Amino acid sequence: MNEPGTDTSSGPLEAYEELRAGFTAVVSHELRTPLARALALLESGSDPATVLQKVRAEIEEMTALVDDVLFLAELESGRAVVAFGPSKALPELERVASEQSERADRADVRIEVTGDADAELPLRPRMLAVVAENLIENALRYAGPGTTFRLVVERNALVAADDGAGVEERDVPRLFERFYRADRARASRGTGLGLAIVKHIVTSAGGSVEASSSPGGGLEIRCAFPAA
């Protein structure tokens, strides 16, 4: 028998605990993978300089994962407030694209930034940069060599599109889930959180995010914001 005043409606709490447990399990798995690779390298007996370089890459991957997890957790908890306010988007996007140019060259992906120079989006420059960085990184990892990635500023919208490999139709609805990777992308060393971060920032600003794709037809992500 429950004590007087005891709340028996544990549904939301149980749902939260299930979500937390699942999130913890996935994070643990994602961290174990690069850790296992690093340990295997240390035990391989290979050239020390080569091993050190590869182990450093694994440590950097784990660091990136932890950083993304913490950032997303802060966004979802409200501790890291998404900075709202109109910002001219094109200059900030061009700056971010310029910073990513060396990585784009290595990936053999061309980045283009176009649109209305006077168009504003309801995000402060820092959050706009985070969105752009994650959209670009997603393309560099998955679009494939010899492709073009475009960031286009429209009135009340930011569109990211590439002409790369695209994804299967069944995978499109899940692209913004934390840690989700389509079959073709499972070998990637990305954290699987980039598009989840994009979605959270955009929806926190009152906007919406939609993806469309087909195999061989590239991927388009549209971030739409309320009319000013």
Q: What residue segments make up the domains of the chain, in order of their start?
A: 11-77, 87-224
Higher-pLDDT residue of 204, 146: 146
Q: What kind of architecture, by CATH, is found in domain 11-77?
A: Orthogonal Bundle (1.10)
Closest Cα partner for 125 from 102, 149, 94? 94
pLDDT over 80 at 64, yes or no: no
**Contact (Cβ atoms closer than 8 angstroms) between residue 193 and residue 66:** no
pLDDT tens readout for residues 152-195: 999 899 999 999 988 888 888 888 886 665 544 444 555 567 88
Check: pTM over 0.75? Answer yes or no.
no
What is the pLDDT, as a whole number, of residue 164? 92
Question: Long-range pairs for 96-99 at CB < 8 Å and ≥24 separation?
Answer: 96/129, 96/132, 96/133, 96/136, 97/132, 97/136, 97/151
205/59 Cα distance (integer angstroms):
33
77: confidence class by pLDDT, cuts 50, 70, 90? low
* 87-224: CATH class: alpha beta
